[in-house]
Structure 1
């Protein structure tokens, strides 16, 4: 595929595959690895199982990267999803759009953000309503919607230089606020669950129930650096979509690899002063996980879109094409485990007891992929 052909592609296959790879670990991959680790006790599976748990506070595991990687991917998609609206208006860049055209796009973005916020509260148990005080309003889907929305506002109104200034300002501003603004009873720069400014603002302003009673990992203040995570994706998307003849697809993929390593190094350095912490979504966390997000994107892009090896990624494409739908199903909206047990339970009971959890986990994956394949073949996608 030539560089120009790649630039015209409005949907990167590697991006759908990476989105599916990311979502796979949430919907069923972690269950399979945990079962294999327990059954086999093999060091490789034990290590992978340990990586599929969140860190309690400071530090990082692979599982901590899944959510920000998804938000990063949403940012990468933005220049592609808005491409037609920009070109139809006779513009080369989003910030060149007229005010009336931008307002039209804003309304669509706002609608998507509101729907994601609502679906996030549904996943939290809205329909089991037990009073506002027992309802958790912050959510993973809500943060994706809000951070993506504000990143989109920046993308539509500033050129690349301005977007970079916003990115730096968000991360530096969040760091300064967390380190310099005193919290009553704790003082400034206290980065504990109880004493951090982020937790204090959640207790003060966030309605309903917090995830950890005194803190919410998807709270108000930490949504600000999450916008930076989405912007990193926007930067990558603009670069991949560029038609500059100096940058072949291979060179683009390799530069993404280098940029990822640089961000990981910068995040590690900042960790010395502002610890890498997913629950606080610290600025060092944004850089560090953003670096790994670029590495994942580069690898998938080089293998799938550059080298053309695509067939192996088809199961991930199935997941990535309907990611929100399967996420909500996995979060309890549909009992796929019951369906898997109904179909495969009779056969699984003949396996040795210690291996039965492994086959149960595999049966859930089979049911999920079968459902997703049916939707994919019939072009049924949950679009928000």
Structure 2
């Protein structure tokens, strides 16, 4: 008899979590920044500070948006691949599908960075957010396909974290020495200057999606894979599963906190292992919250608004790059905004979010999803 989990429904909490994450990218962060600036309310101003990246060391809420998406990408792997394995699809065939997705995401990332401008090789940025998502997904999915046990997959995750920490803390960088975690002195910068094709982001000495950053981020996607595989092993939503994942996430977070206080700070721009641990712990907590609030309560489907975004998250990420949503919002709401005083920009931002959601709702109604 076939395993009933081979036809398991989508993990709605994962779609909602992706949608929640993507909303901050496409306008919700700006909404709160503007609201804080207008109202001058203390807690909103404190929150608005969290809507921007730290300059270098440390971690803010905005620093978690990209890691959360990568973590969610890892959770999706068992739900995408395991039913096909159980249905008898060969690992080699699935690996070809994985490689295809990696290549498409890398190409989309280059296009997102302005690849169609046809600038010279040295002026084109090849590293990208989508490329990093694709490569990390490819590594995690390959590990999932060819490493059968959770212990082996955990070993891969830990191995990456340890290897990155050793490189960043113990391997001397010519002209700087070992353990110099600065933009120019880090080993990430040394690798990017020698092995990263094209130019780095903003012509910095390193690229935040550079060679070692991508490798390091694979650990976060593998962490999501471990969570997703464990959740899927339960035939229905389980408080036991949720509590165990929560405990594991807490342990991971405190490992990162200890590393930070021992002198290995979280730095997202070079993806230190301490950052991965802190981000991984927080991402795990967020997933558990959505798991409890969404999958344990099939009705009413309060998270539908988020799921519409989450099911086409890459679509809206790309559309925001090429579609002038601000101009569209201004066309419909510009007159009202001009008569709203200092509330005008907030009205335009609200319109942007609404228009983006309506576009995604239209795609959802048409059952049109970007699958790569």
Instruction: Report the TM-score when normalising by structure 2.
Output: 0.95
Instruction: Report the TM-score when normalising by structure 1.
Output: 0.92
Output the aligned Cα RMSD.
1.7
1:26 to 2:16 alignment: no
Q: 2:257 aligns with which of 259, 264, 268?
A: 268
1:355 to 2:343 alignment: yes
Contact 1:318 1:376 in 2 (8 A): yes
Partners in 2 of 1:7 and 1:51 — Cα distance?
41
Q: What's the counterpart of residue 61 of structure 1?
A: 60
Which segments of 5 or more consecutive residues in structure 1 lack a partner in the other structure?
A: 90-96
Contact 1:71 1:230 in 2 (8 A): yes
Q: What's the counterpart of residue 118 of structure 1?
A: 107
Q: 2:287 aligns with which of 281, 284, 297?
A: 297
Question: For residues 214-264 of structure 1, what are the alpha-carbon distances to aligned partners after superposition, in whole Å with 9 as ceiling and x for unaligned?
Answer: 1100000121121110010100001110137xx961221222222222211
1:349 to partner: Cα distance: 2.2
- For 1:275-354, list aligned pairs within 5 A: 275-308=265-298, 310-330=300-320, 332-351=321-340, 353-354=341-342
Q: 2:220 aligns with which of 225, 229, 242?
A: 229
Contact 1:10 1:81 in 2 (8 A): no
Contact 1:76 1:233 in 2 (8 A): yes
Partners in 2 of 1:293 and 1:181 — Cα distance?
30
Contact 1:7 1:241 in 2 (8 A): no
Q: 2:366 aligns with which of 344, 355, 378?
A: 378
Q: What's the counterpart of residue 82 of structure 2?
A: 83
1:377 to partner: Cα distance: 0.7
Number of aligned positions between the proteins: 367
Q: What's the counterpart of residue 166 of structure 1?
A: 156
Partners in 2 of 1:182 and 1:212 — Cα distance?
25
Partners in 1 of 2:202 and 2:356 — Cα distance?
31
Partners in 1 of 2:300 and 2:216 — Cα distance?
34
Q: What's the counterpart of residue 218 of structure 1?
A: 209
1:188 to 2:187 alignment: no
Contact 2:6 2:82 in 1 (8 A): no
CA separation of 1:132/1:294 partners in 2, compared to 1, >3 Å: closer, same or farther?
same
1:346 to partner: Cα distance: 2.3
1:311 to partner: Cα distance: 3.1
Contact 2:22 2:310 in 1 (8 A): yes
Partners in 1 of 2:290 and 2:306 — Cα distance?
11
1:5 to partner: Cα distance: 8.4
1:202 to partner: Cα distance: 0.1
Q: What's the counterpart of residue 41 of structure 2?
A: 42
Q: 2:232 aligns with which of 241, 247, 255?
A: 241
Contact 2:330 2:348 in 1 (8 A): yes
CA separation of 1:110/1:377 partners in 2, compared to 1, >3 Å: closer, same or farther?
same
Question: For residues 19-62 of structure 1, what are the alpha-carbon distances to aligned partners after superposition, in whole Å with 9 as ceiling and x for unaligned?
Answer: 00000000010111111011111112211211111111110001
Q: What's the counterpart of residue 92 of structure 1?
A: none
Q: 2:125 aligns with which of 131, 136, 141?
A: 136
CA separation of 1:83/1:7 partners in 2, compared to 1, >3 Å: closer, same or farther?
closer
Q: What's the counterpart of residue 150 of structure 1?
A: 139
1:83 to partner: Cα distance: 2.4
Question: Structure 1 stretch 204-213 or stretch 360-369: which is displaced more?
Answer: 204-213
